[in-house]
Amino acid sequence: MCPHANIVHCPLYIAMHVANAPSCITRDLENGCAVEQGKRKYASIVAVLSRFWPGIIDRCADEESAALKRDQMARNMRAAGLH
Domain boundaries, the chain: 7-79
Beta-carbon contacts of residue 12 (< 8 Å; ≥ 6 apart):
2, 22, 23, 24, 25, 33, 35, 42, 45, 46, 49
Q: Considering only residues 52 and 25, tell me which one the structure prediction assigns the higher pLDDT.
A: 52
For residue 16, pLDDT beyond 90: no
Taking residues 15-23, report their average pLDDT.
84
The whole-model pTM stands at 0.75
Instruction: Give pLDDT, residue 32.
Output: 73
